[in-house]
Structure 1
């Protein structure tokens, strides 16, 4: 048997609960035959065996991991995005009326938005109770009465829909504040088209790429006034947002900068994007992925560090277009659903084509009575809050539920969810029926609202409340000659090439990317050498090899401290512990954080390199064997070297130069620490030779040394190669020379800046050194070498501070406005505390701290 045959046999069995309506199945009809959408794919789809889907599912997991596709459930850490291998297929005849209903719904939501912040006819004519709107936190009073930029302020929206037991599509809810998911939808399509290429080619479905072209054009056209070359940015809450990948994907695909609130500033009513060295560029359109209440600390929530002070006033003046407008979140209230048919009649003069799920607002006495009556006897009726998730009401005893609803009836809505249609979901070696909803997207393109022909399906758990995985949505063409997305041409988006802009935050992320990548690489090379020595000499402590092992362990401790006496536990800690400053785990975690902040500017090769590291970590965690430590460290190193290779293909602008400068600075620091711990003391001829050989391997200079000195290891030769050889990429002199090249080409360099002066002085000191003096013995150590290395480390640290201050500083960090008092005129301690993260439309509760500014977080443990 094949997967779909087994599935069809299972779903055509009589239902266990005869009183509950049978779910509409998206693949199999009541008679057990395939639905019309699946018939063109029957030959390929029916032939899929469990072995085939095991392979496809494994390929999907690997591809998503390699591309770094993540999603964070509310209150959880980011985890891998999950994609089911079986698509949701919809035929053209089914999609056509749905597309009309979605377009009308977007038109209705736009008209309602204009009315609520303008004449408010729906309130004055009592079509919608005033408390439904004015009592909702999404209604922003600061924008009431503001002049809308045009008659269609709602540019982009999303609607969650599902099919009832009879196949009728119903709207479950609308997303208008910061609609997310279209990036995930496109990623689903990219992955599934590669793992099921035969089915994809045979299907004849609408490709998604033209819709992104239309979306980009629509955002450019949304700029206020007559702007020849509008600047569009995507405003993100930062890397802690649960849909950070979706935001970065959207920015990267559309070619717009992904910015945080600190990257923007309002001056004289205009919004500007900060650039390096105090320069600014005017912004015309802000694609907002930050909730409205957090978007402007000046007029909304004063404690917000995620918004832009003055953004609301700039929008009121019509000097910037915000997509979607501040205040659009009120349209997401489930309390509006019962009134949308009447609103549609009033504002559009039409009947509502796409019905919503049955809902009752409890602030209305009739709605309260209906809700309390139905919630007890109808299992599909539940109570939800008007401003978020279910508010912990699910599963409450009736008495407690009634008490809570009666205490704040206007805060709750009764809702009867449909018996959502079901799809085959691959799990544990079989395709099992699971309920499904579909997120659709609509953009104002040209003079009409255009729904995306497709979307993102969410497979729900058994009780139908939480997404367990996603599905790609394949909408088939009525005719193979039909234009994809019905778009035969896309309006011009920009008249010419736009110059790339790098905000100070982006430059800082790139600088620390270079430093953390090199820090991790240096520790990995030392760990590999130390582990190899330990394999031979951990049981022979009194030998020369055993003594050299202690020296190498001391070098590790100098860079990352010591946590475990057991050597395997110590090595594992260095590789895995993210809280161990100086260890590989800490450096890779910080590297990933820096890269996440600039994901929109990076190629997929970057995430493939990190995927290699992730798989190495997984293997190490699963295997207790000692040899797996070296295997995992080697895989880590492979990933980091791949990352270095991908950075070589970046545009060689200021960002790339700062990344390179960070790498060369960190390499010099790591080398000096290694040499201080291993070469400044005498321990006997045999021990010194073993230690020096290990140092050469850890500094990736062993082959060069053997070729030059024919394997004869002496301190003078080693120090000459690692300190003063201008042709050795691992030498101190070479690192400083490369650092001078990259610093000198930065926009803020003049030849006389403090970083350049410090570097020139350090270079002259290094070039003046004589190896014969450095290796001179004074008792049991080499005092001149010790002094030189320690002073060099101090100067490198000062140089790093100077680089950050001159090239990365963009002024003091923002402070919450509600923390400012008259005492701020006096010296005060820095403001501390936890600022809740902005939620986007996937309902993340507040309470997670915002992204920490780089400068403060990275001082801990920095050499």
Structure 2
């Protein structure tokens, strides 16, 4: 019997032991009370009911691989980035079931927009007593600096979201509104992409609405939300940074819309306008002016001048730019007040007053304790031990007090009743969720019933609000468990229905636009190149050393290591220090220990951080590199066999080499030039360490040949050397090939020439900057070098070579600092207002 047929049978026979997880008081999304399939699932029955536990176990593994390849994660507090969880069984709605939701979501978005306009403008709802003033002014989301008629935007809500759940009768209720910075669209689109690939037959059988047109409509709505006089509006997405819990969602949105992802430090307000802060600030260009900001930073953190003075996430002066109407925020800074659960009891009356309609989708039953009668009811239910009552604060609606002693909770409420609400927990509808990840394909592998919530999204497109036909469904076993999501399938009423009910997207000007990159983005790109090259070079060196140690005669009497592998181990020690005398233990540490500076693991971690900062600029294929590396590292951790070290290092090196292919397909903008500049600067530094350590001392003839060949392999130049030079390997020939040969991509001369070209392409370069002057001097010095003299041995050492390469290393490090000052830094670092005294502030303005 198939998994879903099993589930249907269980739900229709709740007394069976197998059905212990079923709850007859809940509405089931898969079968009705008689055990028949819901209409949406009936259309998919042919393939859905044929899915076995083996099928779903395979699909579950494929989902995990796809999500890892795309680098999809959810940052959860101190736990850090966690893998995104996606259930293989979608949540399916037929057209008739979706229709009332679509109407209700559109109405709710229109109501919230009208409510927001009223609260920051005429405040008629407050003056007429429809909404208590205390529930609004007592909420931290009410942004007082914007509460003036002249600053009111008639359409402050462009994109909103609502979390929904069904009661036991199958009626939808709004559990919470998400309007300040609604997240999840990117996750919803990623879920659809993955499920369509792992369940292609089921996906093709269901004639459902595609999500892609909704992103086109969102892009058009954003570009048309500014003054018509602006021909080429600049749109950015303001993010708190890579540690944001929804960092992937923000980057996905930036990629899908084609707008840059920026942080507060990338922007600056000048003359009442918002600008992308260029290198060399305060110089500005018209192209740097920002017209629309999609805000993913909570309002309180958006402006340290008028809101939170200790914020480092916002832009000083942003509130004033908004008041002047010089920048459009999506959504407006004051939108956070609408996430106040204390407003929920008053929305029906507000809907009738503002829209002249009855509220289509009711909110979850809520009591605002600022009302005496509601307070008495909450207190009575607490005394009675009512388990269906959930107490929350109006400022932190996601935080409940289920574990708090009822006496202490009652005391808190009585001390400040206007700050609390009591909500009745709904017996949320249940849906089949595959638990094969825990049970495998054995007896325990089945579809279990779990409660479901649905996040619906609504966009103001044209003159009306249009809900996304679909959404993001979430199931979880407990409040502490990591949520597991579902793709939401809404079937079409007719096969020729337009996707998302959007017959066509409003045309936009076809002018080419090249969004500027911030100095921070340039820095992340530069270090992407450096860490990528550093990782590749160390992995190649490690593999070469391992191969040398595997050769007969690698160990002499008393376990002494032969000359060639010993030299390579010395190079590794200079790059990352020496932790163990056992080469195998040392190699494992270099691959696994991310806390060890100079190790491959450390460089990979820093590389990932740098690339996360510019995720919007990179291809989705980029994250397959890290997925491959993670799998190789997992294999290494679970195996103690020596061969596993070289095997894992080889897979990691192959992944790093694939990064070349990804960056080779990037547009040749300033970001790409920074990646390549970082790559070639780091290549020069690594080469200097390799040669100065590997050739510092003279060996006997046999050892010299072995050492030179090892260095050529580690620098990926052994094939070139064999083709170009005849006879035995000589130090002079190796130095010629690796230092001054302009046609060898691995040589120092080639690296410096490439570095010159990439720096010259940067906007801030003039041909006479300090970075360019340093590079000219270095190239001149290298061209004048006497290779014969550098390779000469005196008293058993090549001191001239060591001294020369030490000088090159110092100059390359100075060059890196000069690049930082010229292309990355843009004024003094931000200092929180709370750290400045009034006198210091006045002195800084003088």
Tell whether the structures are fold-level matches, with TM greater than 0.5.
yes
The one of 535, 542, 551 equivalent to 1:527 is 542
CA deviations 1:370-390 (Å, max 9, x no partner) are 223334443222111211255
Query: What secondary structure is seen at the aligned counterpart in 1 of 2:150?
Result: coil
Does the CA-based 8 Å contact 2:44-2:202 persist in structure 1? yes
1:820 aligns with 2:827: no
Correspondence 1:383 to 2:405:
no
State which of 360, 365, 370 in structure 2 corresponds to 1:363. 370
Contact map agreement 1:41 1:203 (CA 8 A) in 2: yes
The question of whether the paired residues in 2 share the 8 Å contact of 1:774 and 1:785 is answered with yes
Structure 1 CA distance, aligned partners of 2:327 and 2:741? 56
Q: CA offsets, 1:770-801, max 9 Å, x none?
A: 22211222212111111111111111111111
- Cα distance in structure 1, aligned partners of 2:507 and 2:176: 33
* Counterpart residue number, 2:486: 471
Query: Given the alignment of the two structures, is residue 169 of structure 1 paired with residue 172 of structure 2, yes or no?
Result: yes
- Verify: 1:616 aligned to 2:610, yes or no: no
- TM-superposed CA distance for 1:6, in Å, is 1.1
* Aligned residue among 704, 722, 726 for 2:720: 704
1:601 to 613, 617, 633: 617
Aligned residue in 1 for 2:284: 279
CA contact (8 A) 1:405 1:412 kept: yes
Deviations 1:33-73 (A, max 9, x none): 21111111101100011111111111111111111111112
Call closer, same or farther: CA 1:315–1:700 in 2, change over 3 Å: same
> Of the candidates 323, 332, 340, which is equivalent to residue 325 of structure 1?
332
Contact (CA 8 Å) 2:121, 2:152: kept in 1 or not?
no
Q: Distance in 1 between matches of 2:813 and 2:91?
A: 56
- Return the match for 1:118 from 113, 117, 121: 121
Structure 2 counterpart SS, 1:308: coil
The separation in 2 between residues aligned to 1:112 and 1:823, in whole angstroms, is 42
Equivalent residue number for residue 846 of structure 1: none
Q: Which one is further off, 391-400 or 791-800?
A: 391-400
User: What do the CA deviations read for 1:189-210 (whole angstroms, capped 9, x no partner)?
Assistant: 1111111111111111111111
Q: CA deviation at 1:827?
A: 12
Q: For each residue in 1:716-771, what CA deviation from the matched residue of structure 2 results, as whole angstroms up to 9, or x when unmatched?
A: 22212211222211111111122122222333323222222211111111111222
Report the 3-state secondary structure (helix = DSSP H, G, I; strand = E; otherwise coil) of the residue aligned with 1:418: coil
Equivalent residue of 2:47, what SS?
Answer: helix
TM-superposed CA distance for 1:686, in Å, is: 3.2
Aligned residue among 131, 134, 143 for 2:134: 131
Pairwise CA distance, 1:710 = 4.7
Contact 1:149 1:224 in 2 (8 A): no
Matches of 2:366 and 2:151 in 1, distance apart? 30
- SS of 1:272's partner is strand
Query: Please, which of 187, 192, 199 is the counterpart of residue 195 of structure 2?
Result: 192
Asked whether 1:483 is paired with 2:498, we answer yes
- Give the whole-Å Cα distance in 2 for the aligned partners of 1:14 and 1:772: 88
User: Does 2:218 match 1:215?
Assistant: yes
Q: CA deviation at 1:328?
A: 0.5
1:427 to 404, 412, 435: 435
Query: Contact 1:228–1:495 at 8 Å: present in 2 too?
Result: no
2:406 aligned with 1:398, yes or no? Answer: yes
How far residue 676 of structure 1 moved from its aligned partner, in angstroms, is 1.4
1:293 matched to 2:300? yes
* Equivalences for residues 781-796 of structure 1 within 5 A: 781-796=797-812
Task: Say if 2:305 and 2:316, in contact at 8 Å, map to a contact too.
Answer: yes
**Stretch of structure 1 that moved more, 140-149 or 817-826:** 817-826
- Of 743-752 and 451-460, deviating more is 743-752
RMSD: 2.1
Question: Structure 1, residues 415-461: CA drift from partner, whole Å, max 9, x if none?
Answer: 11211111111113321111100000001111111111100000121
Residue-by-residue CA offset, 1:279-338 (whole Å, 9 max, x unaligned): 342211111100000000111111111111111011111111111110110100111111
Of 417, 422, 441, the residue aligned with 2:425 is: 417
Measure the CA separation in 2 of the matches of 1:389 and 1:785: 67
Seen in structure 2, the aligned counterparts of structure 1 residues 466 and 442 have a Cα distance that, compared at 3 Å, is farther
The alpha-carbon deviation at position 822 of structure 1 amounts to 5.9
SS of the equivalent of 2:78 reads coil
Gaps of 5+ in 1: 829-863
Q: CA deviation at 1:115?
A: 0.9
Partners of 2:555 and 2:561 within 8 A in 1 = no
What is the correspondence of 1:799-838 to structure 2 with a 5 Å cutoff? 799-821=815-837, 824=840
- Counterparts of 2:150 and 2:466 in 1: how far apart (Å)? 25
Corresponding residue of 1:2: 2
Question: What CA distance in whole angstroms lies between the structure 2 residues aligned with 1:547 and 1:806?
Answer: 44
Whether 1:31 and 2:34 are equivalent positions in the alignment is: yes
TM-score by length of 1: 0.93
Does structure 2 conserve the Cα–Cα contact (< 8 Å) formed by 1:251 and 1:258?
yes
